[in-house]
Amino acid sequence: MKLGRLNHIGVVTPSIVESVAHYRETMGATATTEPFDLPAQGVKVCFVDTPDAHGEVGKGTQIELIEPLGEDSPIHKFLEKNPLGGQHHVCFEVEDIAEARSWFEGQGKRILGPTRTGAHGTPIFFLHPKDMMGQLTEIMETPRGDGH
Ligand SMILES: CC[C@H](C(=O)O)C(=O)SCCNC(=O)CCNC(=O)[C@H](O)C(C)(C)COP(=O)(O)OP(=O)(O)OC[C@H]1O[C@@H](n2cnc3c(N)ncnc32)[C@H](O)[C@@H]1OP(=O)(O)O
Ligand SMILES: [Co+2]
């Protein structure tokens, strides 16, 4: 399997509104999406763009702010343990999600649930942190076209 780019770092927050203000006012971020709900994934999401190696905003790794949505959100327990929120997962891109899934299954890594559509509208799956050196890891198929 070939490792693709680091698409985003997932950051849990009790308040996307407060986190957006933090990234804008304290961190000088210039571009964010509007928050949007992903009920199927139990989260409210907002992306903060960071500049790429050439200082260009829009192609760099994003901060994915996620707030629990609904009673059985998968991040409820994380927020109980970490009331201020914090780094939750990393997301790497791959060319072919099915091939990547077979690779990790062959490596004996636990895959958390089915391959499903993620916040960028492309297929994703998660790998259990206990099998990934303690890091909850999301794998997503590289968006086609100019999406990122
Ligand atoms: C998909 C939309 C969007 C996108 O990018 O497209 C997203 O990324 S949404 C992100 C939210 N969704 C998920 O995270 C789905 C996958 N996650 C899970 O299924 C759970 O969070 C899980 C299984 C990783 C943990 O569930 P839970 O916290 O309810 O269980 P435990 O407390 O029992 O945790 C088991 C064990 O893992 C440790 N843990 C939990 N979360 C993390 C983490 N983020 N990073 C590292 N380790 C984590 C936890 O401490 C437990 O360890 P133990 O030693 O037993 O205490
Ligand atoms: Co994510």
Which protein residue has the closest C-alpha to ligand 1 atom 20?
A: 74
Q: How far apart are CA 40 and CA 112, in angstroms?
A: 15
Q: How far apart are CA 51 and CA 29, in angstroms?
A: 9
| Helix count and strand count (H, E) for the chain | 3, 8
Q: What are the residue numbers of the active site?
A: 138
Is any ligand 1 atom within 6 A of the Cβ of residue 138? yes
Supply the mean pLDDT for the chain: 95
Q: Which of the four pLDDT bands, split at 50, 70 and 90, describes residue 146?
A: low
Cβ atoms of residues 65 and 13 within 8 Å? yes
CA of 132 to the centre of ligand 2 (A): 16
CA of 21 to the centre of ligand 2 (A): 20
Judged against a pLDDT cut of 80, whether residue 148 lies above it is answered with: no
CA of 54 to the centre of ligand 2 (A): 24
Tens of pLDDT, residues 62-81: 999 999 998 899 999 999 99
Cβ atoms of residues 60 and 7 within 8 Å? no
Domain residue ranges in the chain: 3-141
Q: Which of 138, 139, 142 to mutate to test the pocket of ligand 1 (most atoms within 8 A of CB)?
A: 138
Cβ atoms of residues 8 and 63 within 8 Å? yes
Judged against a pLDDT cut of 80, whether residue 145 lies above it is answered with: no
Tens of pLDDT, residues 26-62: 999 988 999 999 999 999 999 999 999 899 988 899 9
Which protein residue has the closest C-alpha to ligand 1 atom 23?
A: 128
Determine the pLDDT at residue 8. 98
| Assigned CATH class of 3-141 | alpha beta
For residue 134, which phi and psi values (nearest 5 degrees)? Answer: 85, 0
